[in-house]
């Protein structure tokens, strides 16, 4: 059997098992192409959280990383949430623990905690709001201006939000996604020099985001061609913009969907090595095994889930 035939067989079996179990497949934009292609909902963290909250399916197969499946389980305690590979973790989520957050809160009594969705359920349970890159600015702007904010765990997203909102009473945790942090200003400068007419799309988690904001403010990057966006908004922009070339500063998995939506446009990675190994762990075989064997059920204890749910629901409601 050829690879194409094997893939077709797997896709057919997945569809059969999905119908048999009344399941929905949610996949993040960074997953491998063949997993993106079988998703019922493909999107960024906010879109997937909303889809998880609204689905009528009995089973949610979450093709992403562990914290995403946890979020779906918190929103759907009565449903079965499956993560096809339990090893699919997140270096950013690992950059702060619940104990570290408790200590940080004790040092800033009365502060409002805004946690990026890339965190564990235990950290979300200690937070007032969750956010994603697409609504972090809106969430911080919704909090009274005189209220101190603890923003965690991504320092690059935090710096972006602080600049966009002008908040000087915002404390930022020094965490990072090792993949996004590896997209440096030098990478962007080199690729943009080779493609001067391209639109530059930068994820605010990236190591180049701070320099891009500075270069924008100094006129070193053209405002009409430079856009700091969530992954979901990157997809929208690349589809609607008149540009024919785009330099993409985020994890490279998103380029598959961009190219699929825009076959006549060209997409160039700012750093071709920006590959998240965790996002690439889930395969068609693992999706099928999860459905057939009810494998890798993700649960969150009720006390933690109840505490985390309010922060997640606030995230879904804003922006």
Burial environment of residue 11 by CB neighbours within 10 A (0 to 12, 13 to 18, 19 or more): middle
Rounded Cα distance, 197 and 282, in Å: 36
118 is in an annotated binding site: yes
Q: Which residues contact 150 (CB under 8 A, 6 or more apart)?
A: 104, 105, 108, 111, 112, 113, 114, 171, 173
205 is in an annotated binding site: yes
206 is in an annotated binding site: no
* Cα dihedral across residues 307, 309, 311, 312: positive or negative: positive
Using only C-alpha atoms, what is the Rg of the chain?
Answer: 20
90 is in an annotated binding site: yes
- Answer for the pair 48, 85: CB distance below 8 angstroms, yes or no: no
Taking each helix axis as running N to C, give the angle between helix 302-317 and helix 45-54, from 0 to 180 degrees, rounded to the nearest 10. Answer: 110
Query: If DSSP codes are grouped into helix, strand and coil, which group holds residue 62?
Result: strand
- Answer for the pair 221, 196: CB distance below 8 angstroms, yes or no: no
231 is in an annotated binding site: yes
276 is in an annotated binding site: yes
203 is in an annotated binding site: yes
Q: Which residues contact 283 (CB under 8 A, 6 or more apart)?
A: 32, 34, 35, 84
177 is in an annotated binding site: yes
- Answer for the pair 154, 140: CB distance below 8 angstroms, yes or no: no
The residues with which 297 forms a beta bridge, in sequence order, are 82
**Which residue ranges are tagged as binding site?**
28, 45, 90, 116-118, 133, 177, 203-205, 231, 276
**Which residue ranges are tagged as binding site for iminosuccinate?**
28, 45, 116-118, 133, 203-205, 231
**Which residue ranges are tagged as binding site for [4Fe-4S] cluster?**
90, 177, 276
């Amino acid at each position: 059997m050829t690879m194409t035939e094997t893939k077709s067989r797997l896709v057919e079996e997945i569809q059969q098992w999905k119908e048999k179990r009344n399941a929905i497949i949610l996949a993040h934009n960074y997953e491998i192409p063949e997993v993106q292609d079988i998703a019922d909902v493909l999107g960024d963290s906010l879109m997937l959280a909303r889809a998880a909250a609204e689905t009528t399916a009995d089973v949610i197969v979450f093709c992403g990383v562990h914290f995403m499946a946890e979020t779906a389980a918190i929103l759907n305690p009565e449903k079965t949430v499956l993560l096809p590979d339990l090893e699919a973790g997140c270096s950013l989520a690992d950059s702060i623990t619940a104990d570290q957050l408790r200590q940080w809160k004790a040092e800033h009594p009365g502060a409002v905690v805004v946690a990026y969705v890339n965190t564990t359920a235990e950290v979300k349970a200690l937070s007032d709001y969750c956010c994603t890159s697409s609504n972090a600015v809106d969430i911080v702007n919704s909090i009274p201006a005189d209220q101190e904010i603890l923003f965690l765990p991504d320092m690059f997203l935090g710096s972006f939000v602080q600049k966009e909102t002008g908040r000087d009473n915002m404390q930022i945790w020094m965490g990072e996604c090792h993949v996004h942090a590896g997209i440096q200003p030098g990478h962007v400068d080199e690729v943009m020099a080779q493609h001067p007419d391209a639109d530059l799309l930068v994820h605010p988690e990236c190591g180049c985001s701070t320099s891009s904001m500075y270069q924008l403010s100094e006129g070193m990057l053209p405002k009409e061609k430079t856009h700091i966006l969530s992954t979901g908004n990157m997809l929208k922009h690349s589809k609607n913009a008149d540009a024919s070339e785009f330099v993409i500063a985020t994890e490279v998995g998103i380029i598959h969907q961009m190219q699929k939506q825009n076959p006549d446009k060209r997409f160039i990675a700012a750093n071709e090595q920006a590959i998240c190994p965790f996002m690439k762990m889930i395969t068609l075989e693992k999706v099928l095994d999860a459905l057939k064997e009810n494998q890798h059920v993700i649960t969150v204890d009720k006390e933690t889930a109840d505490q985390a749910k309010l922060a997640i629901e606030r995230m879904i409601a804003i922006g």
